[in-house]
Amino acid sequence: MDPGSIDAIARLARLDLDDDAKQRVQAELDAILETFRTLADVDVEGVPPLFHVGDPVGRPREDEPFDGASRDEILRNAPATRDGCYEVPRVLE
């Protein structure tokens, strides 16, 4: 995997990696890709894709309300709150 791809993936994942970390990650990703290349070589002609190993077909629920969480419970884990909202660094100029 080339350094440009590592930079792109790091940016997408909002990770700020130093050069050492980039090299380490590059080696790890190369190994992962190698494993997937092995999988990709397997002949699956005529085999339907499998997305889940559990129940193949889901059972939807009824459109019935349940008691969710209270606002206080939910906001308790937030680093900052204001006016009943999550407060985050400004995302619009």
Tell which one of 2, 45, 62, 79 touches another protein (CB under 8 A). Answer: 62
Pull the structure tokens for residue 36: 């997937």
Tell the smallest beta-carbon distance from residue 53 to another protein (Å): 9
Q: Applying CB under 8 A, does 52 fall inside the site for another protein?
A: yes
Tell me how far apart the alpha carbons of residues 33 and 9 are, in angstroms, rounded to a whole number.
Answer: 14
Q: How many CB atoms lie within 10 A of CB 50?
A: 8
Q: Applying CB under 8 A, does 4 fall inside the site for another protein?
A: no
Tell me how far apart the alpha carbons of residues 87 and 16 are, in angstroms, rounded to a whole number.
Answer: 23
* Pick from 35, 15, 37: nearest CA to 25: 15
Tell the smallest beta-carbon distance from residue 69 to another protein (Å): 5
Q: Which residues bind another protein (CB under 8 A)?
A: 8, 12, 14, 51-52, 54-58, 60-66, 68-69, 71, 74-75, 77, 80, 82-92
